[in-house]
Amino acid sequence: MKTGILVHGCNLNIENWRHVAWGDPPDQPGRIPQGLLVATQLKAECIIFGTGASKKEFRLGDSPQRGRELLEAEYSLEYLRLYFDSLRRFDVFARHVPESRSDGDWERFKQSVLDQIVLDTGSQNTAEEITSAARVFLDRGIEQMVLVSSPSHIVRCLRDAASIFAEDDAFARFRCGLLASPSVTCYEGTSPGDVVVVEPPHRPDRHVVPTHRRIQRMLTLQKLDQQDRVRLIEEFDDLLQRYEHKYFNG
């Protein structure tokens, strides 16, 4: 089964982009190294870097792109070109990529990986990234799609992909060929346990109130004015405290 890898973009203006997208050797690979590792293990046909949702001036090393404003996908690729050799500092590459043990093999491996990468500079969000990547993979006869992102983002990526593929018959081949592979690094100050998953009610021994619908409605209000967002959160917190007091104190 032919495999394609989608390495989800990472907003260039977040705190500590390098840690999230690249990681910290020897044991904390970020999104980019994780994507390349999975691509190598599964002998992927194509690796896609997304997206075009943010841009930043590239100021690193002696890159020919230095001084230019690059989109997320472009920035990720240029960072990889500049620091490709430091992938060998990650323990997982030393263990699972035989080419890392020989300089000659490593150079051939590097060129092979770089030749596989396709940039998505048009997508503006996670759902668009997935749809765009799926179209590229369809054109290349790829049937298995692997999503790669941070542990604090990958759950939503998988949710979006499953939803898109369920609703659009054009992507039917991916319904049984959808995988997700989290990196080790999370957004700054967060951990995988900080992710909250609100499933639709389905167990007869628990409540049947569609709580997930309320949470969805709340998340659609993120573009409220700052003052209104703060007021909403404060009022919601007051309500929670009232019922927490009732719940925990019998």
Note the pLDDT tens digit of each residue in 78-95. 999 999 999 999 999 999
pLDDT on residue 145: 98
Q: Which residue has the tokens 């691509």?
A: 39
Length of the chain: 250
- Amino acid residing at 60: L
Phi, psi dihedrals of residue 247, rounded to the nearest 5°: -70, -50
Q: Is the pLDDT of residue 6 over 80?
A: yes
Q: Count of CB atoms within 10 A of residue 200's CB? A: 9
pLDDT on residue 161: 98
Q: Is the pLDDT of residue 155 over 80?
A: yes
Three-class DSSP labels, 11-79: CCCCCCHHHHHCEECCCEECHHHHHHHHHHHCCCCEEEEECCCCEEECCCCCCCCCCCEEEHHHHHHHH
Percent of the chain with pLDDT over 70: 100
pLDDT on residue 36: 98
Exposed/middle/buried for 150, CB within 10 Å: 0-12, 13-18, 19+? Answer: buried
Distance CA 9, CA 130 (A): 11
Q: Is the pLDDT of residue 202 over 90?
A: no
Q: Quick one: which of 159, 111, 142 has its CA closest to 48?
A: 142
Collapsed DSSP state (helix, strand, coil) of residue 112: helix
Note the pLDDT tens digit of each residue in 91-147. 999 999 999 999 999 999 999 999 999 999 999 999 999 999 999 999 999 999 999
Collapsed DSSP state (helix, strand, coil) of residue 241: helix
